[in-house]
Amino acid sequence: MESFASSRADAPAPARKAAAISIPVSLAELLDKITILEIKSEQFCGEKKRNVDHELSLLKHVLRQSGVELLPKQHQELKAVNQSLWQIEESIRQHEHRKDFGEAFIALARSVYLENDKRAEIKRAINDDYNSAIKEEKSYA
């Protein structure tokens, strides 16, 4: 198995600044990342918001360049489930902070995988509808 770091003593020092890295992803994964960044942009301010908005702009440009025109409904469905996950995670953190691990905490924790199942279904449908060259596969116990 290849290592991420070179094991040679004479290898050059690793770069200290990385440029943007492009990787192949499914259409649904791109849209998922865009919707998450939209949610973050609505929540953050200052430098965090500027960083998020910069990344969001880059990814929206990639989507425009792809020539794919998504149905607004697909964007809305994926964003809605990601907003739900955001709210659930925030609630879980509040319970964690209070060390409140009762029934409400358990219900929230269980709702994460239920929402993630919905998210996977939406992403699968998007990839199928647009015949995406890459299809994500999920594994469940």
Give the start-to-end residue ranges of the domains of the chain.
27-129
Residue 2 pLDDT grade (very low, low, confident, very high; cuts 50, 70, 90)? low
What one-letter code names the amino acid at 28? A
Cα gap 99→10, rounded to integer Å: 50
Which residue intervals of the chain are DSSP H helices? 27-43, 46-66, 72-98, 103-129
> What's the predicted TM-score (pTM) here?
0.85
**CB distance 135 to 26 below 8 Å:** yes
For 22-36, what is the mean pLDDT?
Answer: 96
pLDDT in tens, 64-118: 999 998 899 999 999 999 999 999 999 999 999 999 999 999 999 999 999 999 9
Residue type, 135: K
For residues 59 and 13, the model is more confident at 59
Residue 18 binned pLDDT confidence (cut-offs 50, 70, 90)? confident
Please state, in angstroms and rounded to a whole number, the distance separating the CA atoms of residues 131 and 135: 9
